[in-house]
Amino acid sequence: MFAKDTLGYRPIPLPDRRYVTDAEMDAAASAFHDRMRTRHTVRDFSARPVSADVIERCIASAGTAPSGANHQPWHFVAIANPSLKSRIRAEAEQEERRFYAGGAGDEWLAALEPMGTNDHKPHLDIAPWLIVIFAQRWGRFDDGTRFKNYYVAESVGIACGFLIAALHHAGLSCLTHTPNPMQFLNAALDRPKSEKPVMILAVGHPADDATIPAVASIKKPLDEILTVLD
C-alpha cells in the first residue's frame, strides 16, 4: 500500500463531511458519553461465541485511527483457536507468576491490590477471542525497502482506544491484559522481531456472575480532569 511514487502531497476535498446542528451535536455528544460510561473492564467471560465478522468490523474501526505520518504502525492478531489461546494463557501465567511473586516490586503490587488481580488468567481460555495488538517500529514500501514509523506508542494507543470503544459499542466486553514481558507473543503468533506486542485484549460477553472491583467504577469528576480556558 505504500508505493513510493504515490506518496507526494495531493490535497482532495474533505470526504464524508457531516452537517450537524448545534442541537444534534449536543444530543450526539451526550448519547456517546452515556454509552461510554457503561463500559467496564471485565475479567469474567461467558463462553458464548462471537462471530469473526463482528471482531473484524471492530478491528476495521481501530484501523481508522489517526497515526504519525499516516503510517498506521499496528498489526492485530485475532485468535479464537482454543489450543493457541491455551498456549498464550500458559505463557502469560508463567510471566505473571514472576510478577506477582515480587518481580513487580512492592509499590506496584500495592497499587494492584484494590483491583483483585493475580497470576491466574482463566479468561485467556474462556473469552471467545483474544486480540493481540503489535506496534511496528518500521514499515516497508511496496518495493521492500524500510521506512521509520513516528509516534508509534501514541498511534497504537489511539487505535487500541478506538478498538475498545468499537467493541463496547457492539455490545462486547473486554479486558486489557499486559503480561510483562510480552515477547513470547512474537513466537506464539509468528510476528517479526520488529513488532512489539502492546497488549492482549480478551473479548467476549461477560459471565452471568461477572463482577468488577468497586474502585474501578469510580471515575475522576470532569472538573478534576478538565481545565477550560475561554
Q: Which residues bind ligand IYR (CB under 6 A)?
A: 96, 99, 112, 115, 117, 177-180
Q: Which residue has the cell 504502525?
A: 73
Nearer to ligand IYR, 25 or 115 (CB): 115
Least distance in angstroms from the C-beta of 87 to ligand IYR: 17
Least distance in angstroms from the C-beta of 45 to ligand IYR: 15
225 CB-near residues (< 8 Å, 6+ apart)? none
Closest C-alpha among 48, 46, 43 to residue 207: 46
The rounded distance, in Å, linking the Cα atoms of 67 and 50 is: 29
Least distance in angstroms from the C-beta of 92 to ligand IYR: 8
Least distance in angstroms from the C-beta of 46 to ligand IYR: 20
The rounded distance, in Å, linking the Cα atoms of 87 and 200 is: 13
Nearer to ligand IYR, 71 or 89 (CB): 89
CA 113 to chain centre: 23
* DSSP code per residue over 184-226: HHHHHHT--TTEEEEEEEEEEPBPTT----GGGG----HHHH-
The rounded distance, in Å, linking the Cα atoms of 111 and 107 is: 6
Least distance in angstroms from the C-beta of 64 to ligand IYR: 27
Residue nearest to ligand IYR (CB): 117
Nearer to ligand IYR, 179 or 206 (CB): 179
Closest C-alpha among 140, 195, 157, 144 to residue 67: 157
The rounded distance, in Å, linking the Cα atoms of 173 and 171 is: 7
Least distance in angstroms from the C-beta of 96 to ligand IYR: 6
Q: Which residue has the cell 498511534?
A: 155
